[in-house]
């Protein structure tokens, strides 16, 4: 895959103006801006911010009202699955749901302890729990929440997911992963999608994204707004250091916020079929929608950004 995908065909936009892409071999047409629901995990989980019930309900509806049709969640995101099921099951035909498996979690008085365990009973329990919480008969996409090719194969877990698909409990199977596990997972040639982290501040998976797209599998990018970058409410010093060191403020076009720049950089990646941006802030959601409608950054700006990241930060 090269960078010359060319301008987006206007017919690849939904009625609400959000760009659409085909999610690899699933054939599903998804909005290039998806929604990551980890922030809706609720109280006694982790982090300091807690979204209350009325805000979660309003927020989830505003995601669908904007036309976003792809939502990522997980059994170990606290209340997220239950909230999606409770508030959006009446609109189930408006979105695809991607959840995960391999998740073991224990609710303590003040926090949620989470782990990933590659055993059949865990995966089977996760699926049943997700179907119930999401109030649905079928999970569109079930992703291993990590794991390596050898373990997943040895423990019969890939066959287990293929069996779920045969029984109509899931439509597609995928994996959320990163280097160094990705090449072996791609080589299995069994996954319909790969969820992979990427942003201009953390571009290490650039080539992997292209390889996945070339293999025909679907590409789901997480971390696509670089956790909000320097303007985030929850600051990420390591990512901010990259922004500063590369001097990216110098490259910001007039009127473009840092978050918009970050998101549009990710959307410019030729393999970006959808990026599941997480936010619980209605204003940020609107900003992200506007940024997505504005589309990819100009190619010359992408080239300049990449040059700075390479020369000043050693990032490829
Ligand atoms: N291993 C895995 O499978 C895995 C790991 C991590 C995440 N995920 C999935 O990927 C999703 C996204 O991941 P992520 O949260 O790590 O990355 P992300 O989407 O890049 O970052 C989300 C953060 O960015 C902030 N943000 C979003 N839009 C913004 C804007 N316009 N301006 C300023 N800040 C903004 C959000 O805060 P506000 O709420 O304040 O907007 C939130 O804290 C998750 O929800 C989850 O579904 C999967």
Q: Tell me the per-residue pLDDT of 144-200, one tens digit each, with 9 for 90 and over.
A: 999 999 999 999 999 999 999 999 999 999 999 999 999 999 999 999 999 999 999
Is residue 171 situated within a structural domain? yes
Q: Tell me the per-residue pLDDT of 203-230, one tens digit each, with 9 for 90 and over.
A: 999 999 999 999 999 999 999 999 999 9
Segment 286-315 shows an average pLDDT of: 96
CA–centroid distance, 264 to ligand 1, in Å, is 15
**How far is the C-alpha of 165 from the C-alpha of 206, rounded, in Å?**
30
**Residue in 179, 193, 207 with CA at minimum distance from that of residue 269:** 207
Which residue range is the domain that position 55 belongs to?
A: 28-191
**How far is the C-alpha of 197 from the C-alpha of 166, rounded, in Å?**
30
CB 301 within 8 A of CB 264: no
Task: Kindly state if the Cβ of 72 falls inside 6 Å of ligand 1.
Answer: yes
Angstrom CA distances, 248 to 21, 45, 113, 229, stand at 28, 34, 37, 11
- The residue nearest atom 31 of ligand 1, judged by CA position, is 284
And the tokens for 159? 């066959």
Is residue 33 situated within a structural domain? yes
Q: Tell me the per-residue pLDDT of 32-47, one tens digit each, with 9 for 90 and over.
A: 999 999 999 999 999 9
What pLDDT is stored for residue 7 in this prediction? 42
Is residue 170 situated within a structural domain? yes
Is residue 13 situated within a structural domain? no
**How far is the C-alpha of 134 from the C-alpha of 165, rounded, in Å?**
18
The pLDDT of residue 281 is above 90: yes
Segment 282-308 shows an average pLDDT of: 97
CA–centroid distance, 126 to ligand 1, in Å, is 23
And the tokens for 153? 């194969």
**How far is the C-alpha of 216 from the C-alpha of 193, rounded, in Å?**
9
| Phi, psi values for residue 170, rounded to 5° | -135, 160
- Whether the pTM exceeds 0.75: the reply is yes
Is residue 130 situated within a structural domain? yes
Segment 78-107 shows an average pLDDT of: 98
**How far is the C-alpha of 193 from the C-alpha of 213, rounded, in Å?**
9
**How far is the C-alpha of 254 from the C-alpha of 8, rounded, in Å?**
23
Segment 266-278 shows an average pLDDT of: 98
What pLDDT is stored for residue 1 in this prediction? 65
Q: Which CATH number covers residue 82?
A: 3.20.20.100
Is residue 234 situated within a structural domain? no
The pLDDT of residue 278 is above 50: yes
**Residue in 233, 160, 236 with CA at minimum distance from that of residue 197:** 236
CA–centroid distance, 276 to ligand 1, in Å, is 8
What pLDDT is stored for residue 6 in this prediction? 40
Q: Are strands 70-72 and 33-36 parallel, antiparallel or unpaired?
A: parallel
Closest ligand 1 atom number to CA of residue 284: 31
Task: Kindly state if the Cβ of 143 falls inside 6 Å of ligand 1.
Answer: no
For a substitution probing ligand 1, which of 36, 55, 72, 265 has the most ligand atoms within 8 Å of its CB? Answer: 36
The pLDDT of residue 5 is above 60: no
Is residue 106 situated within a structural domain? yes
Closest ligand 1 atom number to CA of residue 233: 40
Task: Kindly state if the Cβ of 280 falls inside 6 Å of ligand 1.
Answer: yes
Number of structural domains found in the chain:
1
**Beta-carbon count within 10 A of 253 CB:** 11
Is residue 96 situated within a structural domain? yes
Task: Kindly state if the Cβ of 273 falls inside 6 Å of ligand 1.
Answer: no
- The residue nearest atom 8 of ligand 1, judged by CA position, is 222
Q: Mean pLDDT across the chain, nearest whole number?
A: 95
Task: Find how far residue 17's CA is from the centre of its chain.
Answer: 20
CB 175 within 8 A of CB 153: no
The pLDDT of residue 4 is above 60: no
């Amino acid at each position: 895959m090269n960078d010359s995908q060319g301008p987006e065909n206007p017919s690849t936009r939904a009625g609400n103006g959000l760009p659409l892409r085909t999610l690899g071999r699933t054939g599903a047409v998804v909005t290039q801006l998806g929604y990551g629901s980890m922030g809706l995990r609720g109280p006694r989980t982790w982090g300091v911010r807690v979204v209350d019930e009325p805000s979660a309900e309003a927020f989830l509806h505003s995601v669908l009202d904007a036309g976003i049709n792809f939502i990522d969640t997980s059994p170990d995101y606290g209340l997220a699955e239950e909230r999606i099921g409770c508030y959006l099951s009446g609109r189930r035909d408006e979105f695809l749901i991607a959840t995960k498996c391999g998740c073991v979690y224990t609710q303590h008085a003040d926090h949620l302890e989470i782990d990933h365990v590659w055993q059949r009973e865990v995966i089977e329990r996760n699926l049943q729990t997700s179907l119930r919480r999401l109030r649905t008969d079928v999970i569109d996409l079930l992703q291993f929440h990590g794991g390596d090719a050898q373990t997943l194969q040895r423990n019969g877990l890939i066959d287990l997911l293929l069996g779920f698909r045969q029984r109509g409990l899931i439509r597609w199977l995928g994996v959320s992963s990163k280097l160094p596990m990705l090449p072996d997972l791609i080589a299995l040639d069994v996954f319909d999608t790969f969820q992979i982290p990427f942003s201009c501040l953390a571009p290490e998976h650039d080539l992997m994204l292209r390889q996945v797209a070339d293999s025909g599998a679907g590409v789901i990018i997480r971390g696509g707004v670089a956790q909000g970058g320097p303007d985030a409410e929850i600051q990420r010093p390591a990512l901010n250091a990259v922004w500063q060191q590369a001097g990216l403020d110098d490259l910001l076009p007039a009127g473009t916020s840092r978050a918009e720049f970050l998101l549009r950089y990710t959307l410019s990646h030729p393999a970006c079929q959808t990026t599941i941006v997480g936010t619980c802030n209605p204003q940020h959601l609107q900003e992200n929608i506007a940024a997505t409608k504005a589309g990819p950054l100009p190619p010359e700006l992408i080239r300049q950004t990449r040059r700075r990241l390479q020369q000043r930060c050693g990032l490829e």
